[in-house]
A and B are shown apart, each in its own frame.
Chain A
Amino acid sequence: MIVTRTQKAGFSLYAGLVLLVFYFPVFCIIVASLSKKRFFSFPYASEDMTFKWYADALNSPQVHDFVGVSLRIASVTAVASVTIGFFSALAYARYRWRGRQTFQRLVLLPLFFPQSVLGLALLMWFNFLDVTTAWWTAAIVHTVWIAPITTLIISIQAYGLDESLEEAARDMGATRWQILRKITIPLLLPGMISATCFAVLLSWGNFALSLFTTGADSALPEWLYARMTSGYQPMVPAVGVINVGVAILLVIVLFAIVRWSTRKSRTSAPSH
C-alpha cells in the first residue's frame, strides 16, 4: 500500500493530539500539586510553587496507612490470582477436556460485569455469611475480578507452549509433578510475571470494588475519592501524582523483568 507522506503526517498529528488530550489531566494534577495556595487557581506565580504538599503527603501517617492497606490488598491479590490463573490457563489453552469451550466463554464473564455492582453483591454476600469486611475481603473481591485477566495473559503464553516438550519429558519418565516443575512453569514464567504485574497494578488502582468491601480499612483510591468529592484539598493532587509515579515505576520495573526473563528463556532455549 502506498501511504503518502501527507497521510502519514496526518495520522501522526492525530495520534499526537489524542495523546496530548489523554495526558492533559495528569498535567493538570501535577500543576495543581505544585501550587502553594490553599485554593488552586491557574495560572499562579512561580514563587507560589512548592513541594510542601509532597512532603506533607509523605509524612502523613494517614496516607501511610492507606498505602499499607492498598499494598497488602495488591500483594495478596497478585499471589492468589496468578496461582489460580496459572492452572486455569492450562485448562483454557493447553489441556483438552469436555467442558473447555464453556469454560473459555465463562472465564470472561466477571470482566464484563460492572464493578460497582460486583462490589455490592459481594458486600451482601459477606454480610450473609456474617463476615466482617476488612482489607482481606477486598483482596478476595479483587481476585474474583483479576483472576480472569491473569488467566488470559498466561493463556496467551500457554498457547505458544510446545506440547511435544511435555510429551518428551513424559517419555523420558518424568512424573506429572516433575513435568510441571521442570518444564511447564519455567516455560510459562514470562507470562506469569507479566500477569503478576497486571494484577498488582490493577489492584493498586482499583476503586469501585474496594469502595464497598474494605470495611473499616480504606485503600488509597477510596481516600482520594472521599477527599475529591468533599471539596478541594491541596494534598490530594500531590498524593495523586505520587500514586501515578509509583504506577509508572512499577510498570517500568515489571516490564524490565518480563524482558529479561523472555530473553533468558530465549537464549537458553536451544540448550533444552
Chain B
Amino acid sequence: MSDASPVTPSKARLLERVPGLIGALSASPFALLMLFGFVAPLLCVVWFGFMPSKTFSLLQTPTLENYATIFNQTYFKSILWSLGLAAVTVVILLVICFPLAFAMAKIFKGAASFITYAIATSLFVSENIRLFGWVIGFMKRGVVGGTLETWFGLQTDSLLYNIPVIILGMVYVYLPFMLFPLVLGVKMVPDQVREAAFDLGASRWQVFKKIDLPLSMPGVMIGSLLVFVLSVGAISEAKILGGQKVVTIASDIESEFTYAQNWPLGSALSTMFIALTTVVVFFALSRFDLEKLLGKKPAE
C-alpha cells in the first residue's frame, strides 16, 4: 500500500485528499482548449465589432458605428431570411422525420439499424458534395430535367436557383440531425404506457397527441434545436443551390470578411447573430438536460 512510503506525500495522495480534484484535472485539457479555441476567439469577434470600419487592428478606439450601419441598411432582411428558412426547415423535418423515427423506434427491428447506418454515413461526406448531387439532378438537362424531357416530353428549364430548392437542400443536409434525436425520443415512450392509453379508449390521434408527442419531447426539442442552429448558420445551401436568389446572414458575414474586407462590420454582424442563437440555445437547454435523455442520470 501507498502508506508504506510516507516520506514524501505523492501526487496520488494529494488527489485523494482533495475531493473532486481528479475531476477538475481531467476536465482541464478540454477546458483549456475551449478557453483558447472558443471563448477567446468569440470575445475577439465581439471586440472587433466595436472597431472602426475597415480596420484590421484590434487596438483602435471602440465605436458603435458598425451597429449603426447594420440597423440603417438592409441586413435585417438577411437575418429574417436566415431565421425564416431555418424555421421552415425545422417544421418540414419534424413532419418528415417523426413517422420515420416512430417506425425505427417501435416497428422496425433489423431494418432500423440499416436505416441508421445508411443515414449516418452521409454525415461523413462533405455537404458540398451532397448538394452538388442535387445540382446535377436539377440543372438544365440534368438527371430530373433530362428524364422528364426524354420519357415524358416535358421541356424544363433549370429547376435550380429558387427558394424551394434551397429549403430542399437544407432539409436534406440536416435530416440526420432531426432523425436521430427523434428516434431516441420516441424510444423513451414506454410501450405499456401507449398500450394503456389505447386501452383507456384513446384513438390513434389522441395517443399521438397526448402520449407520444409529450413523452418524446426531449428528442423533439434537441432535434429542432440542432437543426435550427445549424440551418440558421447555413451557407452552402443558399450559395450552391440558390445562386444569388437569397442572401442569408451567414453569407453576408462571409462577404464582409472576403470581398468587402470589412472585418469590423462582419464581426458586428457575427456578434448579433451569435447573441441571437445563444438566446435560443440557452432558453431551450435550460428546459431539460441531456442526461435525462440518455436515461443515465447517475446519483449525485
The interface-forming segment of B64-72, B73-81, B95-103 is: B95-103
From B37, B99, B143, B285, A144 is in contact (CB under 8 Å) with B37
Instruction: Name A105's closest neighbour in chain B (CB-CB).
Output: B285
Cβ contact within 8 Å between B253 and A97: no
| Closest CB in chain A relative to B131 CB, distance in Å | 7
B150 sits at the interface (CB 8 A) = yes
Contact A28 B124 (CB under 8 A): no
Which A residues are CB-close (under 8 A) to B44? Answer: 121, 124-125, 128
| B180 at the binding interface (Cβ < 8 Å) | no
Closest-CB distance, A182 to chain B (whole angstroms): 15
For the complex, is B226 an interface residue (Cβ under 8 Å from A)?
A: yes
Chain A, range 1-49, C-beta contacts under 8 Å to B: 1, 3, 7-8, 11-12, 14-15, 18-19, 21-29, 31-32, 40-43
Could you tell me the dominant secondary structure of chain A's interface residues?
Answer: helix
Expressed in whole angstroms, the minimum distance between the Cβ of B152 and any Cβ of chain A is 13
In the complex, what distance in Å separates the CA atom of A41 from the CA atom of B141?
5
Interface pair B142/A28, CB less than 8 Å apart: yes
A87 within 8 A of B: yes
The stretch among A53-61, A185-193, A221-229, A263-271 that forms the contact with chain B is: A221-229
CB of B41 within 8 A of CB of A22, answer no
Interface residues in B14-35 by Cβ distance below 8 A to A read 15, 19-24, 26-31, 33-34
B174, chain A: closest CB distance, angstroms: 12
Chain B residues at the A interface, C-beta cutoff of 8 Å: 1-2, 12, 15, 19-24, 26-31, 33-34, 37-38, 40-42, 44-45, 48, 56, 58, 96, 99-100, 102-104, 106-108, 111, 115, 117-119, 121-137, 139, 141-143, 145-147, 150, 172, 175, 191, 194-195, 198, 225-226, 229-230, 232-236, 239-240, 250, 253-254, 257, 263, 266-267, 270, 273-274, 277, 281, 285, 289-291, 294, 296, 298, 300
Q: Which residues of A contact B (CB under 8 A)?
A: 1, 3, 7-8, 11-12, 14-15, 18-19, 21-29, 31-32, 40-43, 83-85, 87-88, 90-93, 95-100, 103-118, 120-125, 127-128, 140-141, 143-144, 147, 151, 156, 159, 173, 175-177, 201-202, 204-208, 212, 220-221, 224-225, 228-229, 232, 236-237, 240, 243-244, 247-248, 250-251
